[in-house]
Amino acid sequence: MFKTYFIDVLIHHYADFKGRATRKQFWMWFLCCFIITFAVSFVLNFIAGFCEGMQLPSAPQIKETLNSINIMFTNIWVIAILLPNVSISARRIKDAGLPVLLVLLMIPSYIVLIMNMFAQKPPLELSGFSCLAGIVVFILWLLPSKKTE
């Protein structure tokens, strides 16, 4: 599963906006991304909690270091999978029989995400529009595939 739906997208379809992505391919990609993110964060937080529970004298420094590593990993990870996320979203929207340009609705969400990565509070209007656009894109991702002649 991991090789088919994650590694294949990274190696063969990293910035591929041509073709189609079925619902299964699309959601398996997101599941793999979620599992990797959750697993790394869980391990780092578990180690930080373990060190704190051991009441080591250096526990606060260890926890702060692991928290910084977790934030750094998350930021690098988001940037690394940004283009594959956009490309697989474009192929998924195309598979649903809709114009690929609808993937541009994701831009406000990425702007808010990047602003949060650099500890800047995005304007409320942008956050609200980002949320609304995210809901619309999510609905587009759920649409069934359309067969083409």
Position 112 in a domain: yes
For residue 62, count CB atoms less than 10 angstroms from its CB and return exposed for 0-12, middle for 13-18, buried for 19 or more: middle
Position 147 in a domain: no
Position 96 in a domain: yes
pTM score of the predicted model = 0.79
Q: What is the DSSP letter of 98?
A: S
Average pLDDT along the chain: 84
Q: Please check whether residue 77 is in contact with residue 37, taking contact to mean a CB–CB distance below 8 angstroms.
A: yes
Confidence of residue 148 (pLDDT cuts 50, 70, 90): low
Number of domains in the chain: 1
- Using DSSP's 3-state secondary structure scheme, residue 128 falls into helix
Position 148 in a domain: no
Position 137 in a domain: yes
Residue type, 40: V
Q: How far apart are the first and last CA of the chain?
A: 30
List, for residues 14-42, the tens digit of each pLDDT value: 888 888 888 999 999 999 999 998 998 88
Position 101 in a domain: yes
pLDDT at 95: 92
Q: Please check whether residue 110 is in contact with residue 127, taking contact to mean a CB–CB distance below 8 angstroms.
A: no
Position 133 in a domain: yes
- Tokens standing for 109? 């969400």
**Distance (Å, whole) CA 18 – CA 63:** 44
Answer positive or negative: Cα dihedral of 73, 76, 81, 86.
Answer: positive
